[in-house]
């Protein structure tokens, strides 16, 4: 799934060419555009991912899912574990068209896009987190700082942007443009969540986040997402991202 995760998962989708150029002389907007460009660098991605949901007291729950993405707008997620959600599938198409398949009822249901601010299936990632593929569209850079081997950008929500966070503070590597951390803030300036890429590996010529974590500060709840299998640029068909495909069993 890491791949499809937009925002926080920028990291997942956070892929980058092997030979990045220097970022030092570039302004904030250019830097952010470069970060955006590596989010969807592979033409398509398919992955098996394991999610671990961790309570404040340390108790855990496991999720396993299969994730498919093509371009920046087509995403399909199928739940494999646990048993009570096995076969549940989520499809997102352009213009926020979203569908949920409920195997118990053999039913595909159109779901309203207002759900995107909510947590996805009990995780700390929201639908929006898992869908963000372009930060430049929704945020403008208001501050840039340079650290050893990395940049930090402060992003403010653009007027009229349909996103739930008022401000982000994003850190990414100077060498690979992979997002290492994002702090999410609400209108009152309170930090709500933090995304951290805890493992980045080179896969098929892309720098790829293979382990990431999202923390919700109010509840102390964390979700760890680990990549188990990955295929990039395998030529996924458009037919995979249809209601017909949604109904196929896991």
Partner 1 sequence: MNAGVCARGRIALMLVLVPLAPTPGVLAQSARVGGFLSLDRRFEFGGDSVMVADFYNRFRPELSVGPAEDVYLFASLDFRFYDFPTVRSQSDLDDIERHSPTDVTLWEGYVQLWNFLVDGLDVRVGKQRIQWGTADEMNPTDRVNAYDFSDLVSFTARVPTWATLAEYYVAGLTLTGVWSPAVHPPIMPRGGGAALFGGGPPASLDEVAITSLKDRFELPSRRLSNGLWALKIAGNAGGADYSFSYVSGYDGVPFLSRLDLLATGDGTGADGFAGVMTLGFARTRSLGADVATDIRGIGLWGEAVLVLPEAQERVVTTTIGDATTLERVAALDGASYVRSTVGLDYTFSGGWYANAQWSHGLFFERGSDELHDYFMGRLERSFLQDELKVAFGGAMEVATWSGISDNLGYGVFPELTYSPADNVELVVGAFVVGGRGSSLFRAWDRTDQVYTRVKVSF
Footprint of partner 1 on this chain (CB under 8 A)?
Answer: 53, 55, 61-62, 82-84, 86, 95-98, 105-115, 117-119, 121-124, 162, 164, 219, 221, 242-244, 248-249
Query: C-beta of 172: minimal distance to partner 1 in Å?
Result: 28
Place of tokens 């955006």: 36
Q: Which is nearer to partner 1, 156 or 162 (CB)?
A: 162
Q: Which is nearer to partner 1, 150 or 164 (CB)?
A: 164
Query: C-beta of 194: minimal distance to partner 1 in Å?
Result: 16
At 23, phi and psi to the nearest 5?
A: -110, -5
Query: C-beta of 238: minimal distance to partner 1 in Å?
Result: 11
Q: Which is nearer to partner 1, 33 or 86 (CB)?
A: 86
User: Computed from CA positions of residues 184, 190, 193, 196, in that sequence, does the dihedral angle turn out positive or negative?
Assistant: positive
Query: C-beta of 225: minimal distance to partner 1 in Å?
Result: 15
DSSP code per residue over 193-238: EEEEEEEEEEETTEEEEEEEEEEETTTTEEEEEEEEEEEES----G
The token pair that represents 172 in the structure block: 């990414």
The token pair that represents 51 in the structure block: 């999610």
Q: Which is nearer to partner 1, 20 or 87 (CB)?
A: 87
Q: Which is nearer to partner 1, 43 or 109 (CB)?
A: 109
Query: C-beta of 95: minimal distance to partner 1 in Å?
Result: 6
With beta carbons less than 8 A apart as the criterion, state whether 246 and 91 touch.
yes
The token pair that represents 34 in the structure block: 């470069």
* 3-class state of residue 52 by DSSP: strand
The separation between the first and the last C-alpha atoms of the chain, rounded to the nearest angstrom, is 15
């Amino acid at each position: 799934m890491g791949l499809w995760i937009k925002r926080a998962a920028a990291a997942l989708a956070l892929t980058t060419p092997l030979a990045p150029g220097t970022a030092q002389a570039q302004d904030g907007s250019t830097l952010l555009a470069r970060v955006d460009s590596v989010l969807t660098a592979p033409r398509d991605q398919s992955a098996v991912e394991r999610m671990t949901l961790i309570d404040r007291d340390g108790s855990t729950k496991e999720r396993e899912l299969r994730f498919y993405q093509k371009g920046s707008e087509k995403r399909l997620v199928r739940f494999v574990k646990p048993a009570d959600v096995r076969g549940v599938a989520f499809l997102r198409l352009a213009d926020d068209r979203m569908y949920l398949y409920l195997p118990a009822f053999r039913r595909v249901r159109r779901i309203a896009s207002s759900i995107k601010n909510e947590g996805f299936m009990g995780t700390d990632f929201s639908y929006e987190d898992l869908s963000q593929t372009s930060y430049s569209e929704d945020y403008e850079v208001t501050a840039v700082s340079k650290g050893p081997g990395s940049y930090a950008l402060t992003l403010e929500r653009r007027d009229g942007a349909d996103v739930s966070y008022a401000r982000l503070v994003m850190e990414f590597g100077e060498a690979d443009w992979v997002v290492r951390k994002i702090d999410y803030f609400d209108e009152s300036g309170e930090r709500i969540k933090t995304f951290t890429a805890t493992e980045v590996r080179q896969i098929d010529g892309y720098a790829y986040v293979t382990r990431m974590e999202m923390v919700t500060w109010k509840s102390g709840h964390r979700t760890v997402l680990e990549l188990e299998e990955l295929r990039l640029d395998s030529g996924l068909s458009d037919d995979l991202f249809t209601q017909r495909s949604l109904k196929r069993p896991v």
